Chains A and B, each alone.
Chain A
Amino acid sequence: NAGVTQTPKFRILKIGQSMTLQCTQDMNHNYMYWYRQDPGMGLKLIYYSVGAGITDKGEVPNGYNVSRSTTEDFPLRLELAAPSQTSVYFCASRSGRDNQPQHFGDGTRLSIL
């Protein structure tokens, strides 16, 4: 019963490096979301997707890119890592049926030094 799987769980990057955070779900959900959470704060939406090939910006998209080539996968790309991107990143998915809740992965803890 995997649900939403995020990899890696932890990562340390140097300023200016790039990396991709992976997210995959096995529930055949149409909707997928990327959030970041800074210490003591609620989650903030970075990007979301309503289906393969369709993505849109959330509240805080600057410095990130996404793609959605399959229903299962929704990777998040950091091109030029900055200290302000140090955060915990959560991926979520939900069914396309009305009013269904989002289901979350366990997160990726990213530090930029």
Chain B
Amino acid sequence: DAKTTQPPSMDCAEGRAANLPCNHSTISGNEYVYWYRQIHSQGPQYIIHGLKNNETNEMASLIITEDRKSSTLILPHATLRDTAVYYCIDPMDSNYQLIWGAGTKLIIKP
């Protein structure tokens, strides 16, 4: 079973910030959290990953709580093309086996 929990679905208005939460309460001290998304059954696309500090790249920002038990992915100005299923993943071992849950289906509305 997946080691993370996410809400099954969320809506966001186009142009607004989309904030996607994830709980990873069993994460260990040296494990990173990874975020991917999957647009309409295409191959998953890597978004961002982090350990304990906030991270930002050209796609998104990642906010990790101080106790590392949860994180939030932020898409600062959501567009219709950001409609996708978003997965938060905590790799299970040193070979980076990823255990995927059902993710959050994010729908961006005009």
Contact = CB atoms under 8 A, between A and B. Distances in A.
Interface string A88-113: 10101010000101111111000000
Contacts of B100: 35, 42-44
Nearest to B102: A42
A31 interface: yes
B107 to A, nearest CB: 15
Interface residues of B, number: 22
Interface in A13-49: 31, 33, 35, 37, 40-45, 48
A42 B87 contact: yes
Interface of B: 2, 32, 34, 36, 41-46, 49, 51, 87, 95-103
Interface of A: 4, 31, 33, 35, 37, 40-45, 48, 50, 56, 58-59, 88, 90, 92, 94, 99, 101-107
30 contacts: A4-B43, A31-B95, A33-B97, A41-B102, A42-B87, A42-B101, A43-B44, A43-B98, A44-B100, A45-B97, A45-B99, A48-B95, A56-B95, A59-B99, A90-B43, A90-B44, A94-B96, A101-B34, A102-B44, A102-B46, A102-B98, A103-B46, A104-B43, A104-B44, A104-B45, A106-B42, A106-B43, A107-B41, A107-B42, A107-B43
